Structure 1
Amino acid sequence: MLMPHPKDMRTLLSRYATARLAHAERQTLKSATQLDDVSYTLCVATATTEINDALAAADRILAQPPPAASSRP
C-alpha cells in the first residue's frame, strides 16, 4: 500500500475537522456533502472503509518517523 505523506495526511485531517465543525454548526446539504467527501478521501488515503478506522490509521501514519527529505519534491 502506498503511504500518504504526513503533510498530506495533516491537510486531510484539517479539512475533516473543518468540515465536521461546519456541519455541526449548520447541518446543510452542502456541509453534509463536504463532510462526506473528505471522509471518503480519508478512507481512500488510509485504505479503510470507515471514518473511525481512517482516523486511527491517520494517527498511526503521523506517529511514524518523518520520511527522508528527498522522498518528496
Structure 2
Amino acid sequence: MRFHDLSNKELIDLSTGTRLGVLGQTDLEIDEKTGQILSFTVPQYRMFGFKKSEVYSRINWKQIKKIGDDMIIVETD
C-alpha cells in the first residue's frame, strides 16, 4: 500500500468512536534504518478546524487495528 492510498483516510479511535483526524494532516515518524512507519503525530483541532497551539497526539503503528476503504481504526490508551 502506498502513502497516497492512506493519505485521505480518517483516524477513528476504537474505544470511543471519536475522530482523531485525517492521515493527510499528520506527520510520520519513520525508522531511518528499516524505512518502517513507527508512529503518526496527529494535531488536535478545535471547532471549525482551527488548530490548537502545539497539542498533538502520537499514535504508534502497533495501535492500528484495521485499515479500511475510508478510515483507519486505532486503539488508544
Scaled to the shorter chain, the TM-score interval is under 0.3
Structure with the bigger RCO (C-alpha within 8 Å, sep 6+) is 1
The structure with more helix, counted as a fraction of residues: 1
TM-score, normalised to structure 2, is 0.26
The structure with more strand, counted as a fraction of residues: 2
Larger Rg: 1
TM-score, normalised to structure 1, is 0.27
